[in-house]
Amino acid sequence: MKEIVKITIGLTLTCLIAAGIMGGVFIITAKAKKHNEYLNFKENMLALLGYNQTNPAPDSLQLCTVYRYLIYQGDKTSLGYMLPVKSKDAKDIRYQFIRVDLQGQFVDKFDLEIETAQTTDLKDREKALAAVLPKDVNQMIFADRFIVASNKDKRLAYLLPGKSPGFKTNINFMLALNSKYSIVGLQILEHQEDPGLGDEIEREYFKNQFTGKDSERVKTLKVIKEPLPDEQLKYLEKSKWAKDAYSEKDIKALQKKYQDKDICAITGATISSVAVVNGVKNVVTKFVYRVKILENIISKQKITVAF
Amino acid sequence: MIENNKSYSNIFLNGILNDNPIFRLALSMCPAVGISTNVMNGLLMGIAVLFVQFCSSLTITLVKDFIHPRIRIPTYTLTIATWVTVTDLVLAAFFPVAYKSLGIFVRLIVVFCFITMRLDVFARKNPVFPSLVDALGMGFGFMLGMMAIGGVRELMGMGTLLGYDVLGFRPLLFFVLPCSGFFVVGFMMAIFNYTEIVYNRRKREMRSVA
Amino acid sequence: MTKSTLIRWFICFCILLGCTACKTEHRFVKRTEFKKTNIIVLCFAGPVDESWANSAAFRINEKQDPDILLKVDRVELSKDRRTLTIFMKDPLNTSNPHQMVLPDIMSEGKSQGTAVVSVKKLYWGNLISILIGAMFIYNYVFVKYLGLCVYLGVTQKKSTAIGMGFTFTIVIIFSTSISWFLYQYILKPYQIEFLQIIVFIGLVSLTVQAVDTILRKVNPILFKEFGVYLVLIISSCLILAVPLIMAAQNYDFFESLMLSTGAGLGFFIALFLMACVRERIDLSPIPESYRGMPIAFIVSGLFALSFMGFSGMSIY
């Protein structure tokens, strides 16, 4: 009996010491880790917009995030959007929360007391929302978010993060749509697929197949189990183009030729390819449906959004 | 106590040749089989393991008198887990570039058998400095082993080495598949065994001649 | 535990699972299920009017997207008018639960009220798919390469392999269940998930010690046979990997139970297969440099290759 007590005490003590050390390091590093994650995310966003080290983003580039919530009030369900709006002195950005019912009709809007830096934290957002929403709201669930990139009052692109269950675990990706809702680019953020097989979803010849497809085509997009024709393969691998390989006319012609083609799967990684295509389909169809309603409401209610 | 007549260089080389964790002791096969698909992965994994092994050996030799014998294995695992979490958090916070490549591997180190075994066999019974040297030797042995396996698999599977196209075509995609790890390790172990047999035979012949 | 008590527990367990599956949300709608990729089937308690079935405005949406209504292509009523088959225009994403509103169900002239029902994959199906997944498709030894040290060390003889597999399954089921409780009720609410490794290891060691002591007192004969393996279990990677996966996927209790059972059984199968082969190999003429470890690896490689045939399978 004594042995067991000694053992348990010894084990608990060791666990506590280890927990203490880990807790200490965690507290010190948590903020820095979050900051790094944010920087990484931003880098991916800029890459999607076409900016990198040789082509830096202009200072006037603005990235505004819109958060979508599901609000349950009694037996009524509504969607809520947390929008950044331009305030009267046009210097800083304030936030408003508008509610839209399931049929797409405007319900009400509230001004939020929240700073831009705080909006990335889930808890801070919920606090600000709870302060303004009516008391009989049972639940507010964060659904998803999208980012609008604009430069000097002109909308460049909509960036949509999304995820899809792949062969191993979830594949996190980010899509860029232009103002007419055609796909401008696809970036794979995180995945744990097999190297050499599912890993190839990060390669240009897969990702660039999505570029140029409009939202109607994406709704019926499929995966076909055919190899890429050589001409298309060369065209897709943009980074490997020789200096004057294609003229403007050539690029336009090739783009038109392959614009409506289905996505060719990666050899030996059908499941990963299908996962990405389904994820993209889901995200695009739902977003396009919702953003049209949102734009309608924004213009009708004359909300001065910051983008 | 230190075995007599074992100098530090002996201990270090021991970790690489005689007691190589992968090819001789056959411990921690899990990563050797699963992750060593190319040389870069092997290198990064080896560095991470080296660091954790070093720190854990250091910790255990310093506190070896306070550990109750029946809970020693959980204690080793806890030490390793603490160091792994610390490494993971510090890398994520202060070295984001390195974290991008190393990140997944660091978390997997917790499940390595051989670090635990090494702590039990060596660090528990020896003073600080020899344990550190042994840890370094083991870590290097592991890293070299992983790089070797990774090299073979990458060359035969993708035709590249460290990302550079060496062959220009892909010989056998089979080597990139996870199960090929078993085959490659099995064959390399056989080669190790074969060289040892030939070496011993030669030594015996030389001795019988002399 | 004696066989009869085990059987009794198993029957209780099945009844419990059955109860959760039988409850329906509306007294008139008996069953809802997905069929193929774009069909929903509803079974009613009584016959419904054909006029209602053809003209009713069904509202179908994914539960997480209540604002996006999915389009219905056509409906078909069975001959006895108790089964309604709804064909959708676009393929459904059946892994997400869907919600259906059936307005004002008319049965033989009388209204049965408006039903709001959810359509989702069978819970049982989900559980069984996790079980089979952990046993074959994601077998921990051949597909995920965990627990290889123990696997190679113990498979020299069939008896040791069986003993190890058995002990391992019991320990993993216990420790995963307790880990689940700790994870859900202590680690998650207080946001200290980074401590999960320590907590799980501590739990595993305590479980092993507990099983060790209990076995020693209750059944010394059994202890003599299996006691040796208990120490080996702690040093295996696998015992830590299963709770970590359960935490990462955020399973509920029954799902984690299925996961641990599947992992244990899969490990057992792997050990048993390997032991059978190794016993035979020991008697055959193998070149000297291949004897022992190398041939074991190559055989494991062949097993892994064959288990790869399971990959990508999905049941439900």
Examine the pLDDT at C18 and tell me if it is beyond 60.
no
Enumerate the β-bridge partners of residue A172. Answer: A163, A190
Average pLDDT over chain B, rounded to an integer: 77
Question: Which tokens hold the place of B71?
Answer: 């809970």
What's the Cα-to-Cα distance from A98 to each of A129, A134, C253, rounded to whole Å? 11, 13, 38
pLDDT tens-place string over residues C180-193: 988 888 877 777 77
* Tally of domains within chain A: 2
Label residue C276 by pLDDT band (50, 70, 90): very high
Within a domain: A54 = no
Examine the pLDDT at A34 and tell me if it is beyond 50.
yes
What's the Cα-to-Cα distance from C49 to each of C45, C101, C118, rounded to whole Å? 13, 17, 22
Question: Which tokens hold the place of C186?
Answer: 């202590």
How much is the average pLDDT of C233-261?
Answer: 83
Chain C residues close to B56, C-beta within 8 Å: none
Angle between helices C196-218 and C158-182 (to 10 degrees): 130
Examine the pLDDT at B158 and tell me if it is beyond 70.
yes
Examine the pLDDT at A194 and tell me if it is beyond 60.
yes
CA B107 to CA B98: how far, in whole Å? 14
Same structural domain for residues A65 and A147?
yes
Choosing among A8, A11, A16, A188, which should be mutated to test the B contact, i.e. which has the most B CBs within 10 A?
Answer: A11
Same structural domain for residues A3 and A124?
no
Q: Taking CA atoms, what residue in C is nearest to B110? A: C237
Residue B73 confidence (pLDDT) = 74
Label residue C316 by pLDDT band (50, 70, 90): low
How much is the average pLDDT of A277-281?
Answer: 90
Residues 202-241 of C with CB under 8 A from B: 202, 204-205, 209, 231, 234-238, 240-241
Residue B5 confidence (pLDDT) = 42
Average pLDDT over chain C, rounded to an integer: 82
Å between A101 CA and nearest CA of chain C? 8
Examine the pLDDT at C177 and tell me if it is beyond 60.
yes
pLDDT tens-place string over residues B179-203: 888 888 888 888 888 888 888 889 8
Question: Which tokens hold the place of A185?
Answer: 């680019």
Of B31, B85, B189, the CB nearest to C297: B189
* Of the listed ranges A187-191, C204-208, C229-233, C292-296, the one predicted with least confidence: C229-233
Domain boundaries, chain C: 29-119, 125-310
Examine the pLDDT at A156 and tell me if it is beyond 50.
yes
Same structural domain for residues A86 and A146?
yes
Of B75, B81, B93, the CB nearest to A29: B93
Burial of C309 (0-12, 13-18, 19+ CB in 10 A): exposed
Choosing among A5, A22, A144, A297, which should be mutated to test the C contact, i.e. which has the most C CBs within 10 A?
Answer: A22
- A278 vs B33, more confident: A278
Residue B23 confidence (pLDDT) = 67
Q: Is C37 on the interface with A (CB under 8 A)?
A: no
* Of the listed ranges C35-39, C221-225, C228-232, the one predicted with least confidence: C228-232
How much is the average pLDDT of C12-23?
Answer: 59
How much is the average pLDDT of A33-58?
Answer: 81
Pairing mode of beta strands A263-264, A223-224: parallel
Label residue B2 by pLDDT band (50, 70, 90): very low
CA C184 to CA C24: how far, in whole Å? 27
CB A167 within 8 A of CB A275: yes
Percent of chain A residues topping a pLDDT of 90 = 2
Average pLDDT over chain A, rounded to an integer: 83
How much is the average pLDDT of C253-263?
Answer: 91
SS3 track for chain A: CHHHHHHHHHHHHHHHHHHHHHHHHHHHHHHHHHHHHHHHHHHHHHHHHCCCCCCCCCCCEEEEEEEEEEEEECCEEEEEEEEEEECCCCCCEEEEEEEEECCCCEEEEEEECCCHHHHHCHHHHHHHHHHHCCCCEEEEEEEEEEEEEEECCEEEEEEEEEEEECCCCEEEEEEEECCCCCEEEEEEEECCCCCCCHHHHHCHHHHHHHCCCCHHHHHCCCEECCCCCHHHHHHHCHHHCCCCCCCHHHHHHHHHHHCCCCEECCCCCHHHHHHHHHHHHHHHHHHHHHHHHHHHHHHHHCCCECC
Label residue B1 by pLDDT band (50, 70, 90): very low
Measured torsion, CA atoms of residues C204, C206, C209, C214, in degrees rounded to the nearest 10: -110
* Of the listed ranges A47-51, B94-98, B137-141, the one predicted with least confidence: B94-98
CB A93 within 8 A of CB A84: yes
Within a domain: A53 = no
- Cβ of C68 within 8 Å of Cβ of A289? The answer is yes
Label residue A272 by pLDDT band (50, 70, 90): confident
Same structural domain for residues A256 and A285?
yes
* Of the listed ranges C129-133, C216-220, C232-236, the one predicted with least confidence: C232-236
Q: What is the architecture, at CATH level 2, of domain C29-119?
A: Sandwich (2.60)
Same structural domain for residues A207 and A116?
yes
Same structural domain for residues A171 and A296?
yes
CA angle C51, C54, C57 (to 5 degrees): 110
Same structural domain for residues A217 and A86?
yes
Same structural domain for residues A66 and A190?
yes
Chain C residues close to A22, C-beta within 8 Å: 194-195, 198
Of B28, B74, B193, the CB nearest to C294: B193
For chain A, which chains pass the contact test of at least 3 CB pairs under 8 Å?
A: B, C
pLDDT tens-place string over residues A94-133: 888 888 888 888 888 888 888 887 888 888 888 888 888 8
> Which residues constitute the domain of residue A21?
1-48
Label residue A90 by pLDDT band (50, 70, 90): low
Examine the pLDDT at C21 and tell me if it is beyond 60.
no
pLDDT tens-place string over residues B162-178: 767 777 677 777 887 77
CA A99 to CA A108: how far, in whole Å? 5
Name residue A157's amino acid.
Answer: A
Same structural domain for residues A12 and A97?
no
Same structural domain for residues A24 and A71?
no
CA C161 to CA C274: how far, in whole Å? 9
Q: Is C314 on the interface with A (CB under 8 A)?
A: no
- Cβ of C195 within 8 Å of Cβ of A289? The answer is no
Closest CA to A189 of A43, A2, A33: A43
Residue C17 confidence (pLDDT) = 58
Of C93, C194, C205, the CB nearest to A282: C93
Q: Is C68 on the interface with A (CB under 8 A)?
A: yes
Of C65, C198, C206, the CB nearest to A286: C65
Q: How many angstroms separate the most distant Cα atoms in chain A?
A: 86
- Cβ of B77 within 8 Å of Cβ of C145? The answer is no
Same structural domain for residues A192 and A110?
yes
Same structural domain for residues A137 and A36?
no
Residue B116 confidence (pLDDT) = 77
Residue A89 confidence (pLDDT) = 67
Residue C277 confidence (pLDDT) = 92
